[in-house]
């Protein structure tokens, strides 16, 4: 039996929406990212690591995701993942090829069941690390609202090689592609949308100092700080000027494949939702903003995709 090819890592995400590049000063002056590259209607922001960009801002008519960005280790594995996507009947947007954008490299794109573009890239541009105190190192995870959570989960598992780390009752599933507890999490939603994007701080002290920097600049958390049960990670959620929910986190649980067993975490036990009991449950307003705005994705690309049903 052929072994399933697994996605290597989450690189980051490109967001889109009206006037999104106008919010660049918020991410530079407050959130702790740095502009890596800009061109007409697009701004790419880096963290302190060598990844060329973690978070992209692209002007467009609809608030949502332009693409979620993943890494593969080399061209051979990239080609094997592409073949796996085709074999599973996934809507692949062309053969692997050289990217002509600023990040460069080699790879391909595929649509998930909610018509989100997923971009896989290897041999990409890298930058010199710039360690700075209390600045995000990487994008830890992306959480997506999915109207058919089970179908979307099955896609990420069978087509892209993700594995289940834990569940939050029957409302949420945490999916990993490497030792981090989750790179993608899915929430049962009324429509497809982005729930939030989490940025990892190197240490707990830097996590707290990041919250402090935001508060000193007049931007307080809408939920947190606290510490989740699933993933065991500290959390502090904020709302960006464009209305996207973003999170500071740190110390995400590392999974031992040989011993880990997924569990179902209850949602009615406050201490399982927040081990520190400092944040309390999310307010109705917080839940509403995390539901996000409906994101149609790219349905027009599905009909053109190789492997589409």
Alpha-carbon span 43 to 37, nearest angstrom: 6
pLDDT for res 271: 85
Of the pLDDT bands very low, low, confident and very high (cuts 50, 70, 90), residue 1 is low
43-70 burial, b for 16+ CB within 10 Å, e for fewer?
bbbbbbbebbbbbbbbebeebbbbbbbb
Q: Rounded mean pLDDT of 146-170?
A: 97
The answer, yes or no, to whether residue 252 has pLDDT greater than 60, is yes
Higher pLDDT, 305 or 81: 81
Both tokens assigned to 243: 């209305």
Cα dihedral 98, 144, 18, 32 sign? negative
pLDDT for res 123: 97
Of the pLDDT bands very low, low, confident and very high (cuts 50, 70, 90), residue 307 is very low
pLDDT for res 309: 40
Of the pLDDT bands very low, low, confident and very high (cuts 50, 70, 90), residue 269 is confident
pLDDT for res 306: 54
Note the pLDDT tens digit of each residue in 213-245.
Answer: 999 999 999 999 999 999 999 999 999 999 999
Of the pLDDT bands very low, low, confident and very high (cuts 50, 70, 90), residue 308 is very low
The answer, yes or no, to whether residue 108 has pLDDT greater than 80, is yes
Note the pLDDT tens digit of each residue in 109-137.
Answer: 999 999 999 999 999 999 999 999 999 99
The answer, yes or no, to whether residue 181 has pLDDT greater than 80, is yes
Can you give the pTM of this predicted structure?
Answer: 0.96
Note the pLDDT tens digit of each residue in 11-56.
Answer: 999 999 999 999 999 999 999 999 999 999 999 999 999 999 999 9
Q: Residue 75 in 3-state DSSP?
A: helix
Cα-based angle 260, 149, 250 (whole degrees, multiple of 5): 50
Of the pLDDT bands very low, low, confident and very high (cuts 50, 70, 90), residue 281 is confident
């Amino acid at each position: 039996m052929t072994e399933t090819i697994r996605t290597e890592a989450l690189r980051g995400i490109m967001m889109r929406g009206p006037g999104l590049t106008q919010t660049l000063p918020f991410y530079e002056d407050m959130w702790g990212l740095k502009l890596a590259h800009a061109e007409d209607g697009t701004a790419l922001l880096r963290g302190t690591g060598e990844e060329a960009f973690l978070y992209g801002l692209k002007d467009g008519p609809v608030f949502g995701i332009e693409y979620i960005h993943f890494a593969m280790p080399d061209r051979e594995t990239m080609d094997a993942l592409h073949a796996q996507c085709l074999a599973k009947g996934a809507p692949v947007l062309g053969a692997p090829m050289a990217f002509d954008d600023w990040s460069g490299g080699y790879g391909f794109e595929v649509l998930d069941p909610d018509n989100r573009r997923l971009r896989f890239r290897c041999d990409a541009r890298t930058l010199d690390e710039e360690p700075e105190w209390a600045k995000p190192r990487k994008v830890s995870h992306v959480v997506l609202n999915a109207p058919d959570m089970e179908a979307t989960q099955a896609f990420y598992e069978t087509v892209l090689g993700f594995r289940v780390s834990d569940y939050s009752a029957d409302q949420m599933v945490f999916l990993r592609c490497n030792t981090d507890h989750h790179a993608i999490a899915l929430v049962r939603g009324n429509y497809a949308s982005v729930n939030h994007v989490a940025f990892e701080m190197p240490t707990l002290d830097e996590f707290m100092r990041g919250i402090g920097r935001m508060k000193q600049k007049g931007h307080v958390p809408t939920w947190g700080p606290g510490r989740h049960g699933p993933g065991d990670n500290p959390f502090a959620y904020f709302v960006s000027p464009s209305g996207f929910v973003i999170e500071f986190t740190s110390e995400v649980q590392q999974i031992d494949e040989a011993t880990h067993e997924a569990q179902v975490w209850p949602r009615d036990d406050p201490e399982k939702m927040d081990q520190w009991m400092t944040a309390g449950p999310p307010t109705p307003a917080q839940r509403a903003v995390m539901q996000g705005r409906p994101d149609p994705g790219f349905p027009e690309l599905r009909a053109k995709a190789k492997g589409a049903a």
